[in-house]
């Protein structure tokens, strides 16, 4: 059987490569993809060639332990249907709707143990948000918000929106968000945040001081821009916490660490979903965190943020849209015939 796999072949170039699928091993299943979600952060770094060449793609995902280089098949948010099973796999798997951390492909073979069945009644388009929901759960756990704190979230892409939606559940005094694009600010305001401010405002500093006059106790940086770190430092209170969830790839920026930061005792923390915070790892593991992420998806219903559904055969258009007109998008899904 042949399948089509999306492959990044050079900066600003994606192709659908045809490959033969091997016979199923005894513990494997064959999945027909229904939908897959494009990560507007990580995948844009791959698309633009802004990834670090000496870093593994992702050792947590099957087949992604090699370093970044072209050609590269990438992606990690596929919802599909099991259409065949190996001899040692329970035949009940056949016909199930499942989620897998897999690159974009029309079909894929994977061990049955790596699949997750969709919860009863969950739509495939909702399930495609699972990796981002897990990331948001990880960010909030690392941030550890306290009763009555003032929080600031920089960036309202999918990760920022999910993070803000989780933070809304806490009895915070204030929850402020920022983003460059009106579409994303409207989605953030619909969550009921205290304020969502245009990050492109020339008077951004003054606007944030009006809503956070004493600064934020907790700031989460998920904009994808290292330039936002200066904003985070400027508006985080003495002894506050800045949790950096963005992956900048090869993007760098001059950060002003010689001013307020020097005397502020601000904590600058990195947060990445591949691992569990050491302080929690005695009680939390990836399985427990994923259960919480599934529950968050059912409650938040993030499929409302899907702005485009693009046929898999036109995937190059999806990446061009994200690259050239990000203001028009929140989440793009690839649809498979």
Structural tokens at position 240: 């506050």
Confidence of residue 1 (pLDDT cuts 50, 70, 90): confident
* C-alpha span between 224 and 220 (Å, rounded): 11
pLDDT per residue as tens digits for the range 90-130: 999 999 999 999 999 999 999 999 999 999 999 999 999 99
At residue 27, the pLDDT reads 95
Domain boundaries, the chain: 2-128+303-335, 132-270
pLDDT per residue as tens digits for the range 16-45: 999 999 999 999 999 999 999 999 999 999
* Average pLDDT of span 136-158: 98
* Average pLDDT of span 287-315: 97
pLDDT per residue as tens digits for the range 174-210: 999 999 999 999 999 999 999 999 999 999 999 999 9
Domain 2-128+303-335 indexed as CATH 3.90.180.10: yes
| 244 close to 229: Cβ distance less than 8 angstroms | yes
* Sequence-ordered list of residues with C-beta below 8 angstroms from that of 221, at least 6 positions apart, any chain: 154, 155, 228, 229, 232, 242, 243, 244, 245, 246
With 90 as the cut, is the pLDDT of residue 222 above it? yes
Note the CATH number of domain 132-270. 3.40.50.720
At residue 238, the pLDDT reads 97
Average pLDDT for the chain: 94
At residue 66, the pLDDT reads 62
At residue 58, the pLDDT reads 61
What percentage of the chain has pLDDT greater than the value 90? 88
């Amino acid at each position: 059987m042949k399948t089509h796999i999306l492959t990044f072949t050079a900066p600003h170039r994606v192709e659908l490569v045809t490959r033969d699928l091997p016979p199923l091993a005894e513990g494997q299943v064959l999945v027909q993809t229904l939908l897959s979600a494009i990560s507007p952060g990580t995948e844009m770094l791959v698309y633009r060639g802004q990834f670090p060449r000496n870093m593994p793609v992702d050792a947590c995902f099957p087949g992604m332990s090699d370093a970044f280089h072209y050609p590269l098949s990438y992606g990690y948010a596929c919802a599909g249907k099991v259409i065949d099973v190996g001899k040692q796999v329970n035949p009940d798997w056949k016909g199930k709707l499942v989620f897998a951390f897999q690159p974009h492909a029309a079909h894929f073979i994977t061990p049955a143990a790596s699949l997750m069945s969709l919860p009863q009644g969950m739509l495939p388009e909702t399930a495609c948000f699972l990796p981002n929901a897990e990331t948001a759960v990880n960010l909030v756990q690392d941030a550890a918000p306290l009763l009555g704190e003032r929080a600031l979230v920089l960036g309202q892409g999918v990760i920022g929106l999910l993070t803000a939606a989780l933070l809304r559940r806490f009895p915070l005094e204030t929850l402020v968000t920022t983003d460059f694009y009106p579409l994303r600010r409207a989605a953030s305001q619909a969550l009921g945040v205290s304020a969502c401010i245009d990050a492109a405002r020339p008077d951004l500093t003054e606007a944030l001081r009006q809503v956070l006059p004493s600064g934020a106790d907790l700031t989460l940086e998920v904009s994808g821009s290292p330039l936002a770190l200066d904003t985070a430092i400027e508006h985080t209170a003495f002894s506050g916490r800045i949790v950096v969830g963005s992956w900048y790839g090869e993007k760098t920026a001059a950060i002003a660490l010689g001013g307020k930061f020097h005397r502020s005792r601000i904590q600058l923390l990195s947060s990445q979903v591949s691992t569990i915070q050491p302080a929690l790892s005695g009680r939390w593991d990836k399985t427990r965190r994923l259960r919480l992420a599934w529950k968050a998806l059912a409650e938040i219903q993030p499929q409302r943020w899907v702005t485009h559904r693009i046929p898999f055969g036109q995937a190059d258009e999806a990446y061009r849209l994200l690259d050239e007109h990000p203001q028009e998008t929140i989440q793009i899904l690839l649809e498979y015939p």
